[in-house]
Structure 1
């Protein structure tokens, strides 16, 4: 109101004032008596019109849903013609019924995307096991419906749902049940949604006082930095708050720092820390101030002392004042241009006219946000995400860690500032909240009847079956084949490498069981050819990266080879050479079944003899030469400027590959019998896992968990550095 009254372009020569009802709660007759209309004439002052004329009244209510509904019903029955109600707080679908509440205007937008924003954050943080506590009213049940729908789409499950009665007697009869439910649940994350002035708030006071450590996910109405001092959501892991996105009210800090407490005596301002100004509170309700320094101000006030960020409720009130001001301004302008005719309708005519202006008023507030009261268009699509870190007790650190915008395409709507999470908690990792930990290799998921989709047991894979996690990465890359991170560095080569790695992991199956002539031959030939395809694919990828940056100048002959896909022929040529080596091996001294009577005393072990040791080491040496060539080329291309340049990943993979097989040779020669088979099998598995992990795990991490980085925009941003 201070801004409006000082604005010469808005309601000139007119000032807004407001009344704050005193002496606590009011009965219906008392409220009705407050809404009387009078015309009082005060002393005349030159150049001022000091007549106070009540044409119609605008009442501000909130944030409690039930109270706003009761007050709106009262206005509709008795005084709706001359009293309009503006509400702040979360959007109430009941109050949007124009037939039931014709004179009620809700400042809050509809939160239809809140559930989607919360589930997006859960997926980002790998949470699929969530608790929920809501108020038992229409708003709480509607939010539960939205949240359940979004969770079912993304396989996120409820660990429990506490529907807290609004009335205290009903709550107290089941308080122990709600407490035991949250205490016995394995979830680390609980979503809160409901009235802050209800039994739900009482429930959380009790949970907080008993030291329950959870991550609370909630809305700005439960923001502990601006809430009552006797209620804090003290969590070791902090609280995540979703607030409507809006610009900061830049002048508010200056206003608070320069105001004189003698000028304002309402309860809200009395809650500030006046002790530093040597003020006394007149009573326990902090309604008036006594004995303040006459020229006192709050210039000493720091950001840490008072949160300068408007909550959703405060922002709704801020817009409500401007909403009324703009509607009155438009009405006055029309009356100036078109002389009004009363026709004997008096105050009722003025209020009807104001009512028509309130219905159609749209404006841009001082911070640049568009305010539109059309219910079909007034949708909240953007949210800021804050983390409140209140450990140790009383710290009250509030940090913006991300934002959600429904305007962006699916998969790019959530943006999290990892460095801000680390700033608030000291770590970029949030505690996990899952019903069941993923099964490791050799185990498979087993769902029991009656269990949630997120919960399962891990049972060993049956005999003669293998885990299919060797194929998951390929499925991920095929599904996201049109994204920049898959397209970069030639996705066809990526598919070839993944398929060859699948066969590499399957190679050890040939070493298991009773040997025969076929398996003895296939053991070494399959191992030799499959690994050649994998390493030559790595070589082709490194050559592609290097040529793309070193020889792309117009007119160079090598540029034409790159455009024709010449590096892809490396795979065929290298594999063909290895096939020739294996054919020579099989032609002159192939592997065969042999009996080993010397490795273990008193036992004869049936083994596969490699035939020609020289041929075996030639195949192995050929692998080494390809790996060394790939390592050198990748090392040369490691610092080339590209966001998705995988040269560094290829360098580490080849370094690991070479290390495994260099270690293999002395270990292999120092063992005998079946232990030699184990050493070779382990070397195959470790080197295959090294290639898969070094090259594809970072990419899979971005595709699945950081989709906002998998965009051309982020590619250009990082490349510009």
Structure 2
């Protein structure tokens, strides 16, 4: 089409195909044909030129025209027609035998490679080239391609769009099939990066070299791999040789290319229009004729072109201001069979708010015949709540086994969100299909399904539960029984068996035992700072008084039988009451130790969240272990000393002698606490406290029973044995019998 100003179009007008319509013809005899599949490109160019020429308000009295040339994509042949167009001769470059040229721009480039090859030639003449293929960052090198303009929007978001679509349908196991093209390989690199960052796995990938994509579905090796793979999603990307595509896909691709050609023609027209407005007063008009501008004069105007086409879309040639591409998501409806209607079901736009860039209408999607739900394409199904991913060695991260969470760990989004209110928001961000189970906080525990963290119930040895109630009753009964024995001793304090071995020491021992029984009540109930301090201090001091009293009584027995001769020092010690000083001295030492304990690291209320499932045990932390060992060690020292002295005095004459009873009482006392230590350290929770309370009651009852119960038995049941004569008679009778 002739015009005042011309545009040259280099399109791949035809490809070489084979006619197999005749079923009788063999492959070798098949007729070779030129297959014209790119006629839409010429139609788009012609339509845009005619539309501009019909617009009387555009370009005024100028008309556009065009010449169309075939663009051969076979290496060196790509320069053939551009040489002919430039010089009128195919063998002599940089020479023209044609008249003055009216061409101001070239529209070319189905691929980046074609655009680069033609652009290298056109750059010598600073001839503007407007490419209509996919956006190629390699062509953005303005030092190398100063005269090249890409019509396609920036295609830098394609990988993000594809990954967003995969994530939308929860597809993480896909195959890749791509052609070997510089631009495609660049897209592939970006796609791989986005895929791996999104934890999507590639089941298999094939790069088809050259233009052999027509053979893709005839290659048995690839077909077998596709059929054997568990991936149900296949990503196919190709930027050249579109003839291999199914007709409906080809038409879709051509519509985009045709649209770019349409915009390219309008870009040239707008640049010419701007030149006309700026040069009306210059000498470009001579003798009333329009002087065709040189191609180099077009560049300043093309670089600044920015307009809205008739469809309302903005067109910008300056790559610094060029818009990002927006992608339509199409679904081919094939029902009834053969309909093959392309339906827009969604869109991806980088200009939408983050998280809303992809929009898909699932109700409009028509899957394969017979399928009503979104197809699954995963290597391993998601782990159920309560399980975590366990990756298989040497396999992709999308392939895993599911392993149950450990105790007190959960895996469930709902459980994580609930836990976030009490711990950190980071825990709630974990997905239900988790690689690591999340540990419940100390004050919570995991349910049996390991899907939710539940609040732990407070646990302590309470008064109203059977164990606590039984220990309270035992302590009160024993303290009451001790008080009754004290009353009996007060009533019969004048008889010899009561007065023997220092009546005052007996009273002190009985009173200290009452407090020993009652101090066990401090261990029962919900601990607080006061009871925690009183537990250990009261226990240490009261038991020190009791054991030191036993030691004083034992020393009294020894002195009583060693002081048989008048004037001896032993008799003076006994008469002066020296054994009574044992109690205050021993007690003062223990009080000093307890004071140091309180001053350095006193007991405090603590929580044990791990020993008992589902419960947080409230207990008293003893604070300084060194102080605990010092207090207990001192008690052990007193007990062993009392036992040793009593044991040495066990064979003294029986009349009024408590040595055997004292020996046996201290044996019981030491046995209880020796047994207590391993049991205490092996117990947990409220059982541990119960063991300590029981040990206190048992050891105190041992002292009470071994020392005072035999005397009460004689006083109340066998009073005839109270008199000194009775004891002497018994002793005499025993000697006669033994003799």
Normalized against structure 1, the TM-score is what? 0.46
Greater relative CO, 1 or 2 (CA 8 Å, sep 6+):
1
The structure whose Rg is larger is 2
Normalized against structure 2, the TM-score is what? 0.45
